[in-house]
Structure formats: C-alpha cells, structure tokens
Structure 1
C-alpha cells in the first residue's frame, strides 16, 4: 500500500517545485514508510510514498517506461497482473520488473482508458502519457483506495491519497462545506464526491478523470463501472452455494499474493471467518506456515474472542487476540486527525486497535469487509424487506395518512425493549421505498439535526437534502427488486463513504495493507444480482453465504446472532457528562458559527438523564469538534454565512 500525490499544470510548461511535492508526500508518510520518490517534468510533478508488498527490489515509484513516455504513481494491488502481463507480452510488450505497477503502464499503452476494465484489484493512480499529453486519475470500482483533488487558484490541479497531502499546500482553502457537514451529521460520513472542505473533492469510486495538456476548463469525473441494478435471470438456486464458495475461494487465493508476511482479521462473524477459513486452507495446500489471525474483543456478552478462537482452532490458524480498551471521549480528536475530516463510525476505534495488533506480526491482512453489502447482511436489509411487503399490502393513502400520523404521535422510547420502539418502523412505513430506506440509514433525522444549527449555518445549507442521493440510487434500480435497490444504495454510499474509508485510514495509520476478498468486482456483480430469496430467508441475511460455508464453519457462528465490532459508548458518555458538555460548548464549536449552544447542551443533558440514547449523534459532534479544534487553521464558515 502506498500514498500518491501530484500537481498538474495544464496550461503552464513550468516544472512543479519539488519542495511542494515533497511536503505533500511527507504529510502521508505513514502510508509508505519504505521509501519516497518524486518525478518532475514540464507541466507535471508526481510524488509517491511506498509500502513494499510485491517486487521489493524492482517496484520503486514513480515508475516510467524505458522510453520515458509513460509515468505512473500507483497505490493498491492488481491481483490479475500476472495474467495481464502474459497477454501484454504476447502482444509484444517488454517488462523489466515483476511489479503490478508496470502492468498498468503497458495496459494503458495497449488499451488506453479501456485498460481500467482489464484491472482486477484495488487501486488509485495517476498515469501521465507525455506523448498524448494526457493525465489519467483513476480509482477502483468499489472505492477501496482513496484519491482526493483540488483545483488551485492558478488553474492547476493537485491530488493526493489523503486530505492531509492537499492541505500541505497553503493555497488550498480550509473553508468547510456546509452541505458536507449536513451529510456527516445525517449519515455519520461524507459521501463521495464531497469532503468536509469545499475546495477538496474525492474522486468517486469506479470513476476516472482525464486531463489534457493545454486544455482549458475543469473536466468532470466519468464512470467506467457500476454495480448491477437488476437481478440476474435463470440462476440455479441449488448450485448457488457451491458457486459462491468457488468464487470466494478464487478471490481469497488471488489476494494472498505477497512478498511480505500476510495474515487476516477474525471477528466472531460469518464474513471474516469465511475468509480466514479459505485462506488458511490455501496456506496449508502451499505447505506454508499457519495463517496468522487477529481479534480484538470487549469483555461482556458480545465478546467476539471465544468464537474467533474456536474458528481459528478449527481451521488451523495461529490466533492472536487482545482485549479492547476504549476512551471514546479522548479518541474523538484523534479520529479527526487520523481521517482529516469528521468521521462518525465509532467502530474505527477498535478497528485501529486490531490494525495495530496485526501490524506487529504482518504487513498485509485480509478482512471480511463487503460481505454485508453484497449478500444483504445488515439488519436494515431485513427491515426494509418487511416494510416493502407491508407497503405492497397497505394502500398508499393509508400509509401516508394513518401510519404517518401514528408515527408522529408515537413516543421515542430509546431505553425501552426493542419490541416497544416502534416509532422508526411506523415512520418508515409512512414513506416511500427510497425515503424509508434513507430513514433507517440516517443517524440524526432532519428536524432534530436542524434544531442544533445556528440560523446562519441553517441558511448556508440552501436546501441541501442528504436523502436525495438515496432517492437517486434506489430510483436507478429495478422497482421489482427492492432488496437489491437497498444494496445498491449501500454500495454507492455507505460502503465507499464509511466502511472503506474506515479500513483504509486505520490500516494506513500503522502502515498495514488491508485487502477485502468479498470486494472482488466479479464476486460483487454476481452476488448482488442473485435473487432476493437466496440472500434473505426467514429474516436471516447472507443465507447463501451461510449455506456455502456450512461444511467449514461452526453452526453457532453461521446461524447465531450477529455481533457488532464496537463497544457501547452510551454509558461512557453518561459517566463523563461534564467533560462532554465542556467539549460541545467549547470555543471550537461555538466559534465555527455552525451551532446553537443551548441546543447542543440540551442534547447532552437528555442523554445524561438516561431517558434518551443520543450516543451516536454525540459521538459525531465530538469528532466534529475535534476537527474544528485542530491546528494550524481551524475551519470556520465565511463571515457572510455567520451573519
């Protein structure tokens, strides 16, 4: 894994200053502690931080072809590069290294932009073709590897793996994007293509940006891939489990390639256990040492360590486990610094802990990320399917009238048993499919969110609605496949915006490469397009995956209750209410011009009373406070928005 950066001056033949490129690269040194490289020529400068994984001696970057025409700075892994290389060699291309990086250069020369369709893996890269005068910025299909960019005042484009790389350039504005802050408080993350900074954008997953020397204007990103939006026809349900196991096994084996130590994360869930089981079997077949598996657990009924230990013993993995210790109030500011912007998934804290544990033993780790999105494993998928069945039964006037009225009258019972907490269910039933699914994904609904805002910030939102992207995603799907539509919404929002941001930043913070076999794009295309009945049966998600792994994993794990990878933060926030109040009412929050002090303190006091559970929005606000408080330039709204 690596960090990339660069500056492209389309209209100026000047050579970018190496000091600027070096500063950008140094800001991301954790992404590549094994070396730094720079390349400069008229119009263009590229930087690279290297974490050596494959071809330790010959894979240094930026890498150029022997004729000097093509140069690339690349972050990621191309798992099919050996096959691709053989095809290119048969077409006359000559290679001088064993690296996957060089395969991208020759694929571009052979196929142009269509080379993106040939790449199987996770990647973000900048490829310069001096002969054509073209710069290609590209990001993998699912968004495993990040790429950010900003247009500078002189018209040039700067880009970097992380926001910190761009903030190393003083001319990049620190002004926050009000719409992105609204998205963050609604969803807990900032979806592509926005970032918390108005001047910095994220290249969306499955997109590329093609810039040309001498070209005026600002080209827009273009999509080269999207997840399936309708079910496949003629699927053999009886053969689906075996087909899934074969596909997942192939993806795991492809991602075992490494010239450095490799292990895997192991929780008490189906996804990571499936990956560990298949990886351990492949390792045994190769005659290698047992696979290292890593687990973080928290004492109590939800502790994942006993189940993970049982799986490790069953598959013959070498198990490493630790107890998690958390200080979420203290971690909030660290999370803001780690991510470079607000990030509201508090499971990032234990994820960072398991990354640290793994890095003491290996340089590469496999994870089970993506299984829930591809095979419908989230609880909200089950609820959405039930709601869709109810919508089909209840006439629209009844849902929008009677049910919606009941939802408005029903009290919030945060502390009651789950079966008494019907307000969210009634609320969803009173909405259409897209807005109902958004309501389940939303962390803090609109009226409660806006009540926290200062009038100026509320006005600066200019009607921005976080639900609009969910309506667009679900509207793009087959209306007769509501479960797949919900999955598509997750794959285009939650997966690249939350899950993969979390895993990339926490792993890269400790210089660990993380790989997700479930996100092999062929497996994603096949799995998402399976009929809903294979994914969700009798209220159990990932049904086909559980059947596929039935001979490999314990029945208790396969069919038991889902375990979440995070600690309970609600009790800590109640116990430390004075500290929490001081943080929310401190200068960072109030000087930003975004919030109403009284409303913030009311939220904290309601949580401290025990009558309400505001732990999630309070965590998000604490992370936002940490971002606003960070030096050297705390982001604030422009004066006009604060008026």
Structure 2
C-alpha cells in the first residue's frame, strides 16, 4: 500500500523540476512512511511513497523492468501475484524481485493493456513504456484504490493517489465545479469520475487511461470490466451456502499473504465477523482483531464483537471512545481533500488509528451489504417496487405526490409512521426513487437550499442524471440487481472505499476487503435475487452459510451501523460550531446558498421541531472544506 504521483509532458520532452516532483510526492507521505523515491527523465517524473508489506527488501519503487524500458509506480496489492509470476516464468520472463509490483511490469510486457484482465486485487498504477512513449494508468475493478489526474494548461499531465497531489502543483487551478457541489449535497460525496475542482478527474473503477507522447488532448478512460447481474445460476439455496463459504474462504486466504503483522477489524456485524471466522480457520495463530466501542449504548456493538473474539480466541483489542468524539472535523477535511459528509468517517478514523498500533494490514468486511443485499433500503425499495409495478407512473405520480405534499415530516414519530419519504418515492420511477432514498439532502430541500444564481450555474444537471447514466449500463431488469449495481457504481466507490482508504492511509495502515473480490462478486451476480433477499431477510444466503460459524445474535440482530449521534451533537456540544459554520461569511461568499433556508434549518433543529442533522452536517463539512481550501491559499 502506497502513494503514487507523476508528471508527463503530453506535448514533448520538457524536463520537470525535481523539487516540484518531490513536493507533490511528499504531500502524501502518510500513505508510505517507509521509503520514498522519484524517477526523472525528459518529459516524465514518477514518484512513490512506500508502505512496506510484501518483499520488504527489494520491492522499492519506481520499479523498472530488467531491460530498463518499462517502469511503474503502483499502489495496492495483487493477490494472485505468485500464480502470475509462475505463469510468466514459464513464458521465459526473468524476475529480479519477489514483489507483486514486478509482476505487473512483466504482465505488461507479456500482454500489453490486457494485463489488467490477469490481475486479481486492489490497485492503481501508472506504467511508463519508453519504447512506445506511452503512459498507461489503471484502477482496480471495484475502485478500492484511488487515482486522480488532470491536464494542466501547459500540457503537463499530473496524477496521484490523492487530490492533494494535484493541488500541490503550482500550475493546478482550484476552481470549484458547480456540478460536483450538487453531487456532494445530494450524496454526501463527489461521485466518480468528477472531483470538486473543474479539470480534475478520478479514474473510474475498472478503467484504464492510455496517453501517448504528442497527444493534444486527454483521451477518455476505457472500461475493461463490469459486473453483469444475470441471476441465472440454477444452484439451490442450500448448495449456495456451501459455495459462499468456500468462495469467501478463497478470497480471505489470498488476502492473508503479508510479510508484516496482519489482523482484522471486528465490528460485531455479520460481515467482519464472517471474515474473522474464516481467518481463524486458515491461521495457526490467534487472529489479531480490533474493535471500537462507544460510551453510548445505542451506538455500541462491542459486546457482539467480543462474542466472536471469545469464540475464536482472537488477540482482541477494544478501545471505547466518547460519544462526543467530534474533534476531527478539520482533520477529515484535510484528509479527504474535497467535501465528504459521511459522519461514520469519525469512528473509521479511530478504529484505523487503534489498529495501526498492533498491525500493518487489516482485513475488513466492507462490501458485504452491497454484494449480499444487506441494507434496509433494499428491502424498502423492493416493497415499493411491488406497488410501482402494479400501478402506472401516470397514476402514481399525482396520487402519491399529493399524499407526500399533505403528509407532515414526522421525524419524531415511530419509523412506520414516517410515510412522507415513502409517498415521495412512490411518485417516482425506480431509479429516481432509489436516488431519492440514498440522498443526504433530498431534491426538494436542495432546491430550497440553493440560491437562484447557483441553480442557474447548474442548469438542468442534478445528481439523478448520474444514476440514470449508470442504470442505462446495468443490463438487468431485476429491481434488486439494479440497485445493487447502482451502489457498486456510486455509494461503494464514492463513500465506502473513499472513507476507508483515506482513514487507513492517514495512519499508514493497509486495509484489504475480501468481500469485494471481483471473482466473488461475479459469482454472486449470477445468484437469483431470492437467495440474497429472502422472506424479508437481507443477506439470506450469507447468514445461512455462516450459521455454523457465528453466534445467532451476531447474524440476526437488527443492523446497527457504524454511526455517531449527529442529532444530539448538533443540538448540544456542536451547536455553536454548527451555527458559526453554516452561517459563516465563507459559505455566503460562495453564492451557492439561500441563507434564509439555512437559518430555518438551524432554528428548527435546535428547537427540536425537526431533525435536520444530516443536512446540517453536510453544510458543516462543506464549510470545513472551504476552510481547508482557504488555508491552501494562505500557505
């Protein structure tokens, strides 16, 4: 796990300043504290910060081929590198190191751009082929590892693991993209491939980008893989359980290869518990596990984590943090480089901090909810779909639209009585309804939150357009598969993977996600939806598969989630900071917001009339981003 950076002269072979190359590389020193180096040649600079995990002695980067003609900077892990190495050696390739990095170089020399089809792992890399004068960038299928890039006005192409690599370059112009602001307030993050700044891009998951000397503009990234939901696997529900266990076992086994201390996160939820149980079956030593607890019992899962730790006699570390642990707002703004509003970034940061005291590599259960249909919103969506499929949109829109307008926003009421959102969703088609359900700030509130001038800047664009683009490529008519596909393309990449990458790398910790193994995901996409969501139970086949290995309470208790008490924070100890942030001159000076609407949200929340905590937290984090951006101006 590392940080990579680089510069490429698209137009010629101008030499790059070594000090600039070092500066942009070293802004991400937290990603790789063990070693760093840069390579310079006419028209090219490659930079690398190393966190040593495999081949500690000879895995330094930038790494070049035996003949010196092909070089690479690489972030991630190739889990099948040993099998690939043997395959390439059989073809006559000679290796100088034991690293997975050199396997990518040799795979390029054997297969060219098709090398990505042979790689099983999480990766983002830039590969320089000197004879072809070609720079080749690639990102893993599920977007676990990040890649940012931009073309500067002078023809310099710049790339890096984090956006701060780009902003550290004196030639990069930080102009906020209005469409990215809309995506942030809708989703709580800026969705791939957009960045908060115009002209900057994220390389989408499962895409490559090929640059050749002499190009006058950037080509479009090219896709090399996509998940296809077929649901046509004839396997029985019972037989699928055994295969789930075996496939998870294979994915976990591959991710336990490391030359440094390795452990796992153990939240007490189904996914991390299944990963730990699998690791215990593969290890002769006690698995190192790490959990975080909260002093507020409504948010504390540590007792369930302890059940799993006791069952498998893990070397378990638990740290309890206060429910007022909100001092990370500005730290998160620095880490994420662009606005990011998932409040679970706070406990994620803390659990990574704790884990790094004991291990260098940690396995997680991320991806299980998306792949096995574990979210409550999936069940809600499927219930709504039953109605949508029976009533035409022309009838539903006026009927449920009227009910939604008349029904009060009853945040205080029991969940079954909070029908306003459901009525709104019933008046929409499936894609619009799902976008509505996952929105941080839903469309009606965003429309009132934005100023008239900002709405003019947006034109017709809304975050829903992104969901429609992805839905058009989903190639499935199954309603559950469609929303799983949408989550793979939006939430999993933009929220979950971004959160874990930045939080773990802030502490120089490598996190591996076996439930995002692409071969596992390809197979799960062939299962009938009824194997995943069955009689109202999400993750049905997954839970059944692990019944012999995990306590019943861990498998079938209500999902708690990795959350924090936002509403009470913003009415209590954070109320002053919240009011100062959302009504600050910084926010007003953007021209994006209708100030009276913000004032109303503040008053209604503080008065206890409505719970606007998500919208207000989103505004607080946007102001934190603006504050961080201003600090770059003054640096």
- State the TM bucket, normalised to the shorter chain: over 0.9
CA distance in 1, matches of 2:298, 2:565: 12
**Structure 2 CA distance for aligned equivalents of residues 537 and 545 of structure 1:** 11
Counterpart check, 1:297 vs 2:293 = yes
Farther off after superposition, 433-442 or 456-465: 456-465
Q: Within 1, Cα distance between the matches of 2:127 and 2:75?
A: 11
Other-structure match for 2:398: 401
TM-score where L is the length of structure 1:
0.96
Classify 1:326/1:44 alpha carbon distance in 2 versus 1 (closer, same or farther; 3 Å). Answer: farther
Match for residue 448 of structure 1 among 445, 458, 470: 445
Residue 634 of structure 1: CA displacement? Answer: 6.5
- 1:598 pairs, out of 576, 581, 596, with 596
Secondary structure at the residue paired with 1:402?
helix
Shift of 1:475: 3.3
Residue in 1 that maps onto 2:136: 136
Q: Which residue number in structure 2 is paired with residue 383 of structure 1?
A: 380
Which of the residues 517, 520, 525 maps onto 1:520?
A: 517
In the alignment, structure 1 residue 172 sits paired with structure 2 residue 172: yes
Which segment is superposed worse, 60-69 or 391-400? 391-400
Indicate conservation of the 8 Å contact 1:149/1:160, yes or no.
yes
Higher mean Cα deviation, 607-616 or 256-265?
A: 607-616
Worse overlay, 473-482 or 459-468: 473-482
The verdict on how the C-alpha distance between 1:349 and 1:302 changes in structure 2, with shifts beyond 3 A counting, is: closer
Q: In 2, distance between residues paired with 1:316 and 1:84? A: 35
1:92 partner SS = coil
Kindly indicate whether residue 489 of structure 2 is the aligned counterpart of residue 482 of structure 1: no
After alignment, is 205-214 or 476-485 more displaced? 476-485
Cα deviation 1:551-598 (Å, max 9, x = unaligned)? 000011111111211121101101143332122111221222222322
Alignment partner of 2:507 out of 503, 506, 510: 510
In structure 1, the residue matched to 2:577 is 579
More deviation in 222-231 or 480-489?
222-231
Paired residue secondary structure (1:394) = coil
Alignment of 1:5-404 (within 5 A): 5-284=5-284, 289-298=285-294, 299-327=296-324, 330-404=327-401
| Equivalent position of 1:640 in the other structure | none
Whether the 8 Å CA contact 2:229–2:476 is kept in 1: the answer is no
Q: CA deviation at 1:318?
A: 1.1
Query: Does the 8 A contact of 1:411 with 1:423 survive in 2?
Result: yes
Q: Which residue of 1 aligns with 2:622?
A: 624
Is the Cα contact below 8 Å between 1:333 and 1:625 reproduced in 2?
no
Structure 2, unaligned runs of 5 or more: none
> C-alpha deviations, 1:159-207, integer Å up to 9, x for none?
0000111111021111111110110001111110111111211101111
> How far has the Cα of 1:468 moved from its partner?
1.3
**Rounded Cα–Cα distance in structure 1 between residues aligned with 2:476 and 2:61:** 47
Shift of residue 633 of structure 1? 5.5
Kept after mapping to 2: 8 A contact 1:227/1:491: no
The one of 433, 448, 451 equivalent to 1:436 is 433
Report what 1:641 is aligned to: none
State the alpha-carbon separation in 2 of the partners of residues 439 and 316 from structure 1: 44
3-state SS in 2 of match to 1:33: coil
Query: 1:149 is paired with a residue of what secondary structure?
Result: strand
Alpha-carbon distance in structure 1 between the residues aligned to 2:569 and 2:385 = 37
Task: Report if the CA contact (8 A) 1:329-1:573 is conserved.
Answer: no
Judge which range, 93-102 or 431-440, deviates more: 431-440
Contact 1:183–1:466 under 8 Å retained in 2: yes
Q: Would you say the 8 A contact 1:273–1:311 is kept in 2?
A: yes
Offset at residue 116 of structure 1 (A): 0.2
Instruction: Report the CA distance between 1:228 and its aligned residue.
Output: 1.4
Does the CA contact (< 8 Å) of 1:487 and 1:528 recur in 2?
no
TM-score by length of 2: 0.97
Matched-pair contact (CA < 8 Å) for 1:535–1:541: yes
Displacement of 1:328 in angstroms is 6.2
Counterparts in 2 of 1:44 and 1:326: CA distance versus 1, 3 Å = farther
**Cα distance in 2, alignment partners of residues 328 and 187 from structure 1:** 24
- Pairwise CA distance, 1:478: 4.6
1:66 shift after superposition: 1.8
Whole-Å Cα distance in 2 between the matches of residues 334 and 427 of structure 1?
Answer: 37
Residue 563 (str. 1) matches residue 560 (str. 2)? yes
Question: By how many angstroms is 1:402 displaced?
Answer: 1.4
Instruction: Report the Cα distance in structure 2 between the residues aligned to 1:451 and 1:179, rounded to whole angstroms.
Output: 17
